[in-house]
Amino acid sequence: MARPDKAAAVAELTDKFRSSNAAVLTEYRGLTVAQLKQLRRSLGENAQYAVVKNTLTKIAANEAGITTLDDQFAGPTAVAFITGDPVESAKGLRDFAKDNPNLVIKGGVLEGKALSADEIKKLADLESREVLLSKLAGALKGKQTQAAQVFQALPSKLVRTVDALRAKQDEQGGAE
C-alpha cells in the first residue's frame, strides 16, 4: 500500500467505520447506476452507501478495530455507513432488496457487534427509536394515571368507611 491515493482511501474508510453507529455490507452485482441512486435515497439522510474495494476496506475495518467482517469481503462489495438510527437504514435496505433481488445483504456491524444478514433483517423489523420511545412514554403515563386514581380512591374510601361507622354508631346509639 505504498501509493498515497490508496493510503488516503484507507484513512477515509477507517474514519467512516469509526464514526458510524453501524455498517452494512452488501453485494450489488447486477444493479444499474439508477438503481444504486434509488438505493442511496431509500437509506435516509443518516447513511452513506459507498462502493468499495475489498482489500482497502478490509484493511480500514481492521484499523478501526472491526475484524469480524473479514470473510465477507468477497465479490463486488458496497458498504452502507450508518450514523443515525440503524433501524431506518436497515428497513431501506430490506425493502430495496425485496424489490431488487440483485442486492444481497452480506452482514454488518452494529456498535462493534457483528451482525449476520438475518440479524439485519430482524433489525429492520423493529420500530424506529422515536416510535418505541413514544410507546414507552404512553405506557408510563398510563401507569401514572392508574397510580393517581388509586391514591385518590384511598382517602374517599376512608371517608365513606368513617361515615358508615358513624352512621352505624348513631343507629346503635339510637336503638339503645
pLDDT level of residue 155 (50, 70, 90 thresholds): confident
Of the chain, the percentage scoring pLDDT greater than 70 comes to: 94
Residue type, 91: K
Whole-number pLDDT of residue 9: 86
E strands, the chain, are: 22-27, 47-52, 77-82, 104-110, 113-116
How far apart CA 160 and CA 92 sit, in angstroms, is: 60
Give one word for 31, left, alpha or beta, with left for phi > 0 and alpha for psi -120 to 50: beta
Average pLDDT over residues 130-158: 75
In the block, residue with C-alpha cell 457483528: 114
How far apart CA 151 and CA 149 sit, in angstroms, is: 5
Whole-number pLDDT of residue 176: 55
The tens digit of pLDDT for each residue in 40-81 reads 888 878 888 888 888 888 888 888 888 887 778 888 888 889
pLDDT level of residue 175 (50, 70, 90 thresholds): low
Average pLDDT over residues 9-27: 87
How far apart CA 10 and CA 5 sit, in angstroms, is: 9
Average pLDDT over residues 131-154: 75
Cα 162 from chain centroid (whole Å): 55
More confident residue, 105 or 112: 105
In the block, residue with C-alpha cell 491515493: 5
User: Dihedral through CA 64, CA 69, CA 72, CA 75, nearest 10?
Assistant: 0
Report CA-CA distances (Å) from 160 to 150, 156, 165, 171: 15, 6, 9, 16
Taking 80 as the threshold, does the pLDDT of residue 33 lie above it? yes
Whole-number pLDDT of residue 1: 47
CB 121 within 8 A of CB 45: no
